[in-house]
Amino acid sequence: MAGFVLSPAAEDDLFQIWRYLYESSTLAVADRVEKELYGVFSELAVTPGQGHTRTDLTSHPVLFFALYSYMVVYRPETPLEIVRVLHGKRDLKRILV
């Protein structure tokens, strides 16, 4: 069992990230980053609480964990929920309302 669930928005985020990397780089890069993100999700499920809060971006009870330029937004509950996976240059405050 993975120990985490993906919200529908997170599933879409992952697809969009993969597609962008595939189109702007290579299949190998897109697959590698996707694999690394899933590795982070698994690590967070084993040791929730990693990362930090960002009350300047959202009042929701979520934590942020960075991988490359991406912010993994998650709820450290059981099962751990990956809420969003967003590029750090996006308007996170607007997206996470």
Give me the pLDDT at residue 97, please.
83
Between CA 20 and CA 29 the distance in angstroms is: 10
What is the tally of structural domains in the chain?
1
Q: Could you report the per-residue pLDDT of 23-80, keeping only the tens digit for each?
A: 999 999 999 999 999 999 999 999 999 999 999 999 999 999 999 999 999 999 889 9
Which residue range is the domain that position 42 belongs to?
4-95
Structure tokens at 21: 């990397």
What is the CB neighbour count within 10 angstroms for residue 38?
A: 15
CATH code assigned at 43: 3.30.2310.20
Please tell me the pTM assigned to this model: 0.92
State the maximum Cα–Cα separation within the chain, in Å, rounded to a whole number: 37
The answer to whether 38 touches 14, Cβ cutoff 8 Å, is no
Q: Is the pLDDT of residue 1 over 80?
A: no
Q: Which two tokens stand for residue 56?
A: 């300047």
